[in-house]
Structure 1
């Protein structure tokens, strides 16, 4: 399905982040699923939960939201590496077309703005709820740090795509 010219869409989770993934995490390591015991607990299972935000959307927006969440929660100091690491895995499963890649930075920045605005809105309605502002400060700092680096981000992304996936972003736009 195409919603906007040159962007593909389909059913997306809409809220895919580390709090909605169930994995076997022990000693700061992802553990393999073990079938040796018949007594499984939540920690033994792998899965995705919270499908309340599922919708039809452009895949690139979901990619932007996932990268945003990784940037905010996992590694706010080195966001480019976070984006490239996620994209390395994602591009092995689903290719993004040239237009989608060209709007990736905008998608990430839009997702950061959305994250900050919604967090602030929730906080004003629930000022005693710490979860409501989780990551808002980090999102704000990332917005401020990255709003003037579109060219640098896209240049680095272009080099990564050319070197690792033989995708020529510069000459195809």
Structure 2
């Protein structure tokens, strides 16, 4: 067990060639969980993850851990954080704090669990240190599992998209009361405001037409979004509201009638523009929808979002560029990360349909897209 790493690189951005994903095997998880949390693992399933390693575990109903007397019947998620974020105990504390805050406000999110033994560290508050622990170069945490399926596993419907927008807005509204000094200064390659940093990784996009499209999006960002950034409303956001992180569930009497129930994975939380939250949500729900034209997903998400939050004219003015920029981030970083970690097919999730969806979306006139979204929004007002 190593000591707490220094936080000198707390806001360091990922650099080309840097390998940060944990080198942990599935077979090592039971021993790790037993040592840190006093739980006896009976099954392990590796979950999709980008830079971290996540595992779903089921455990025996008894434990000697005095902090976990009521064990979750649905299991737990073990999160082994990448080496870059693991250097930042302030970030981990902020994630735990946000999840506990939202949980207290009635938003269904994972609830962090306490390790078996309390460990005192001088450089981080004792309350937060109880919620994560170090092994080798990586930070390890577990949280109870939010019951249900991820949205990606069920058939998409306009109602589910509407509910995604509702949850995103409700969460953003609650987070208006959440304060964290560290998150105000967090730097992350996945922050939309860092879209210009894609120039460091665009070499991984080998196709000339795709490369040109990304360059056009970066130019549009610089010309249309950057000048308006100081005018956009800001606050704490989730930052990764996507189909892999949205949980849906159904009632036993109607198992095919799914509804959005929870949001997971707080790895990308940040202080940023609220319009980025809705743009990220729209982009990910466009990728694999087959039940409607991909762009129409944005109208249904916005209809749900606008039920609880409004958008200013400035936010409407940059929304299309923000959606395109998130496509660019996901596609460029996916291509780059796959070069670093060949065989990790999860890194290509966006690429399977994303390039074609983005090409259609980006080639459509901006006002045509916005008017279509407004028309869908009006259909919910009847």
**Shorter-chain TM-score above 0.5:** yes
Q: Which one is further off, 22-31 or 125-134?
A: 22-31
Structure 2 counterpart of 1:10, from 208, 228, 235: 235
Q: Which one is further off, 150-159 or 66-75?
A: 150-159
Aligned length: 151
CA distance, structure 2, for counterparts of residue 47 and residue 119 of structure 1: 26
TM-score of the pair, normalised by structure 2: 0.36
Instruction: Give the structure 1 partner of residue 183 of structure 2.
Output: none
Instruction: Give the structure 1 partner of residue 371 of structure 2.
Output: 155
Instruction: Give the structure 2 partner of residue 29 of structure 1.
Output: 257
Structure with the largest fraction of strand = 2
Residue by residue over 1:43-98, the C-alpha shift from the partner in whole angstroms, topping out at 9 and shown as x without a partner, is xxx42221111001111111111100000133486123201100000000100111
Instruction: Give the structure 2 partner of residue 129 of structure 1.
Output: 344
CA distance, structure 1, for counterparts of residue 376 and residue 247 of structure 2: 30
Larger Rg: 2
Q: Is the 8 A contact 1:17 1:69 kept in 2?
A: yes
1:86 aligns with 2:295: no
Q: Cα offset for 1:103?
A: 1.0
Structure with the largest fraction of helix = 1
Structure 1 counterpart of 2:333, from 102, 110, 118: 118
**Of the two structures, which has the highest relative contact order with CA contacts closer than 8 Å and spacing of 6 or more?**
1
CA distance, structure 2, for counterparts of residue 113 and residue 138 of structure 1: 13
Structure 2 counterpart of 1:105, from 302, 305, 320: 320
Q: Is the 8 A contact 1:113 1:139 kept in 2?
A: no
- Gap runs ≥5 in structure 1: 33-45, 167-173
Q: Is the 8 A contact 2:283 2:326 kept in 1?
A: yes
Q: Is the 8 A contact 2:238 2:269 kept in 1?
A: yes
What is the aligned-residue RMSD (CA, Å)?
A: 2.7
Q: Cα offset for 1:118?
A: 1.1
Change in 2 beyond 3 A, CA 1:17/1:31: closer
- Gap runs ≥5 in structure 2: 1-175, 177-227
1:69 aligns with 2:294: no
Q: Is the 8 A contact 2:236 2:270 kept in 1?
A: yes
3-state secondary structure, aligned to 1:93 = coil
TM-score of the pair, normalised by structure 1: 0.75
